[in-house]
Chain A
């Protein structure tokens, strides 16, 4: 549990860290997938396919980033996918009520939302933050185990989605949503750029600030962190708020792409997000992992899935392949193997 206590986090230079990343087995895996893809399909490395890949990666990557930050403290967040959908639904409902209050009808017949997208975006982020705050308070202050607390949040929000929508979808078809869902710059989807900015920010936060060092310290040895005078509660709450915020951002990108939001969307994404974080080497016991490695894992996962899809592999065999690859990839990579010291 405290294996990482003997690994104080040095601050590597940017050069050193990029050198380390280049030697990473995940990088080799990604290269292998890309080479295999380009050799076996003329479509794999087309602009259009890469766009599809990057868009998917942005959403699942944001969820995994949030989970990674929480896992670094030795806790877990099962509620990321539920928060992703709930934050958008509640933001739309809130904006609808707000519209009613100022005498505007912002949800028209057919459940199309025609109100200001900016209000929805802002409200989504606020809800994501608040839900993360609630998770954090329950876990840090009331000492509820993070697994139970976020499972409770997951269950409640999945139910809440239906209560707020009565099972109807909301259509999000204004220009702003369409732009967020479809825009690209020089072939790079907007959603991927958002993901990159969040990644850059989190990498800076975790690698270059006191906050980041404190997060690793808590995950490495929580008791020592408390004795060292760290305000662990506050830091833990902040990590859950970051995760909530990541989910909310992912929610905006995800629902804009689908031009709608619907209660049962993205069920089960939480396990994918956790799997990606763990493939990236994030330890369940805390203290080990980084946003960069989560990025690599997300790229490897998305690129691999996309390749199977390009090959037209039937889903049964696709799931078999994913499961086996997961086992082999993690099994062969000494970094992500847990050292059972016997």
Chain B
């Protein structure tokens, strides 16, 4: 397998130097190693964070204690030497959203269709998360349910705890009572979900968390997203296109992993470019209307407003709304206010195509299938059928999406048409 060899070859700290000369060979080759290219960039910028020269960036970086969060966030290799390339994955209709989905990682920790483990047994599995009315989270549930539906002897129960951590704990306790075979969860916050997960593990039930982490040290596996690569790429893109400007940050809930890792990594990337000045720093908690109001006020307070950094997609769309309402999209030192986004919703992609939003770092919700497959392996390991998967299951770093193809520090960007995995309802 060529790709496996290549992957091994690329591994290690020196790979950046090796990749750079090949960077113009062709789309398939360039993107093959995107996971490790980005990991190397992460390491490179993390090392430079201790000597930030931009005072405005450094002050915020230190004030919010980003260093501690970033140091604790796992950055590493994929399980079993998996190499992801754009185009991989399966297409299906989301069982909950009824929307067409292409999930990128269906070949990661693969599992054949059909009965799993003991075919004469029904395995009861619970999936608890929050937000059956958030496009990102419904898509996450879609992938869990899709994987479950591929295996006739899996019975999946899906519960929405509606952002009440205590309720999520009770759901897990209920499943312990009902002697479920395994639990997959999307914890909104780390701290409160540790004890219930520990109780499940103690009762012999394997537990896998998706995307966000819990404080449990006994949890079977954690499927992690690529927050670090998100924020870093927002910074890389920004300093690739401009070297100065006044910026306003619309961030998520203070202390959430999404905020601390994405915003922290963004600051790491731009910390040594002195022309950037942070003139506004808001927590708009993933609410479009809050981001709208904050950006409207920031536009009013700053006649010089050049860059809008957003920790999520909702934030970016709120910021865009305010900028358009003020009639200032085509203003700022570069002739257009640069809008940086996360989350590859179809709505965001439409705005990338039109040029209103400049770049988005995809953060795919389509990882629930990976979690369920890992959980089944854990159940199999308990039954002595196979080896357990590793504790940390890193998902592939994804390249940023821009209107036209660009190469930024060795990262080949994709266009919205090349990005097949956008989620949520379609937008014309």
Consider the complex of A and B and state whether they touch directly, i.e. have CB atoms less than 8 Å apart: yes
- Using a CB–CB cutoff of 8 Å, the interface residues on chain A facing chain B are 41, 43, 46, 48-49, 52, 56, 59, 162, 165-171, 181, 254, 257-268, 306, 309-310, 312, 314-316
Q: Is the CB of A257 within 8 A of B174?
A: no
- Which has the most chain B C-beta neighbours within 10 Å: A165, A167, A266, A267? A167
Residues of chain A within 8 A (CB-CB) of B189 are 169, 262, 264
Smallest Cβ distance from B376 to chain A, in angstroms?
20
Residues of chain B within 8 A (CB-CB) of A171 are 191, 194, 215
Closest to B199 in A: A182
B244: interface (CB < 8 Å): no
Q: Is the CB of B195 within 8 A of A181?
A: yes
Closest 10 pairs between A and B when the two form their complex, measured CB to CB: A167-B255, A167-B254, A169-B191, A260-B191, A315-B160, A258-B192, A52-B173, A48-B177, A49-B177, A312-B157
Q: Is the CB of A169 within 8 A of B190?
A: yes
Please, how many angstroms separate the alpha-carbon atoms of A201 and B195 in the complex? 31
- Which has the most chain B C-beta neighbours within 10 Å: A48, A59, A170? A48
Residues of chain B within 8 A (CB-CB) of A56 are 166, 170
Q: Is the CB of B253 within 8 A of A266?
A: no
B256: interface (CB < 8 Å): yes
Residue from B65, B169, B177 within 8 A of A166 (CB atoms): B65
Residue from A169, A181, A315 within 8 A of B255 (CB atoms): A169
Residues of chain A within 8 A (CB-CB) of B161 are 315
Q: Is the CB of A257 within 8 A of B255?
A: no
Smallest Cβ distance from B282 to chain A, in angstroms?
13
Q: Is the CB of A52 within 8 A of B195?
A: no
- Interface footprint category on B: 20 to 34
Closest to A257 in B: B195
B419: interface (CB < 8 Å): no
Residue from B157, B173, B177, B253 within 8 A of A264 (CB atoms): B253
Closest to B178 in A: A43
Please, how many angstroms separate the alpha-carbon atoms of A59 and B164 in the complex? 14
Q: Is the CB of B177 within 8 A of A312?
A: no
Closest to A41 in B: B178
Smallest Cβ distance from A316 to chain B, in angstroms?
6
Residues of chain A within 8 A (CB-CB) of B169 are 257-258
Residues of chain B within 8 A (CB-CB) of A264 are 189, 253
Q: What DSSP secondary structure best describes chain B's contact surface? A: mixed
Q: Is the CB of B174 within 8 A of A310?
A: yes
B132: interface (CB < 8 Å): yes
- Which has the most chain B C-beta neighbours within 10 Å: A166, A168, A314, A315? A315
Q: Is the CB of A265 within 8 A of B166?
A: yes
Please, how many angstroms separate the alpha-carbon atoms of A46 and B179 in the complex? 12
Closest to A258 in B: B192
Please, how many angstroms separate the alpha-carbon atoms of A181 and B215 in the complex? 16
Residues of chain A within 8 A (CB-CB) of B164 are 266, 268
User: Which residues of chain B (156-180) have a CB below 8 Å from chain A?
Assistant: 157-166, 169-171, 173-174, 176-178
Residues of chain B within 8 A (CB-CB) of A265 are 165-166, 192
Q: Is the CB of B192 within 8 A of A262?
A: yes
Please, how many angstroms separate the alpha-carbon atoms of A260 and B165 in the complex? 11
Please, how many angstroms separate the alpha-carbon atoms of A46 and B192 in the complex? 25
- Using a CB–CB cutoff of 8 Å, the interface residues on chain B facing chain A are 64-65, 132, 157-166, 169-171, 173-174, 176-178, 189-192, 194-195, 215, 253-256, 259
Residues of chain B within 8 A (CB-CB) of A166 are 64-65, 254-255
Q: Is the CB of A52 within 8 A of B255?
A: no
Residue from A43, A48, A260, A310 within 8 A of B192 (CB atoms): A260
Assuming the contacts A165-B255, A315-B132, A315-B160, asked whether A43 and B177 have C-beta atoms less than 8 A apart, the reply is yes
Please give 12 more A-B residue pairs, beta carbons under 8 A apart, in addition to A181-B195, A257-B195, A309-B170.
A48-B177, A52-B177, A167-B254, A171-B191, A259-B191, A262-B191, A263-B254, A264-B189, A266-B164, A309-B174, A314-B158, A315-B160
Smallest Cβ distance from A93 to chain B, in angstroms?
15
Q: Is the CB of A258 within 8 A of B166?
A: yes
Q: Is the CB of A314 within 8 A of B159?
A: yes
Closest to B198 in A: A259
Residues of chain B within 8 A (CB-CB) of A314 are 132, 158-160
Q: Is the CB of B64 within 8 A of A48?
A: no
Q: List 22 A-B contacts (CB under 8 A).
A: A41-B178, A48-B173, A48-B177, A49-B174, A56-B170, A167-B255, A167-B256, A168-B65, A169-B192, A169-B255, A170-B191, A259-B194, A259-B195, A260-B191, A262-B255, A309-B170, A312-B159, A314-B158, A314-B160, A315-B159, A315-B162, A316-B160
Closest to A168 in B: B255
Residues of chain A within 8 A (CB-CB) of B253 are 167, 264
Please, how many angstroms separate the alpha-carbon atoms of A41 and B177 in the complex? 11
Residues of chain A within 8 A (CB-CB) of B159 are 309, 312, 314-315
Closest to A165 in B: B255
Please, how many angstroms separate the alpha-carbon atoms of A171 and B190 in the complex? 10
Smallest Cβ distance from A105 to chain B, in angstroms?
16
Smallest Cβ distance from A319 to chain B, in angstroms?
8
Closest to B203 in A: A48
Smallest Cβ distance from A182 to chain B, in angstroms?
8
Please, how many angstroms separate the alpha-carbon atoms of A254 and B65 in the complex? 28
Smallest Cβ distance from B48 to chain A, in angstroms?
24
Residue from B173, B174, B195, B259 within 8 A of A258 (CB atoms): B195
Please, how many angstroms separate the alpha-carbon atoms of A254 and B163 in the complex? 16
Residues of chain B within 8 A (CB-CB) of A306 are 170, 174
Assuming the contacts A48-B177, A49-B177, A306-B174, asked whether A258 and B191 have C-beta atoms less than 8 A apart, the reply is yes
Please, how many angstroms separate the alpha-carbon atoms of A274 and B402 in the complex? 50
Residues of chain A within 8 A (CB-CB) of B160 are 314-316
Residue from A48, A257, A260, A261 within 8 A of B176 (CB atoms): A48
Smallest Cβ distance from B334 to chain A, in angstroms?
33
Please, how many angstroms separate the alpha-carbon atoms of A266 and B194 in the complex? 17
Please, how many angstroms separate the alpha-carbon atoms of A162 and B283 in the complex? 11
Q: Is the CB of A254 within 8 A of B195?
A: no
Smallest Cβ distance from A7 to chain B, in angstroms?
37
Closest to B131 in A: A315
Smallest Cβ distance from A229 to chain B, in angstroms?
45
Closest to A112 in B: B215
Smallest Cβ distance from A159 to chain B, in angstroms?
11
Assuming the contacts A162-B254, A167-B256, asked whether A52 and B170 have C-beta atoms less than 8 A apart, the reply is yes
Residues of chain B within 8 A (CB-CB) of A254 are 166
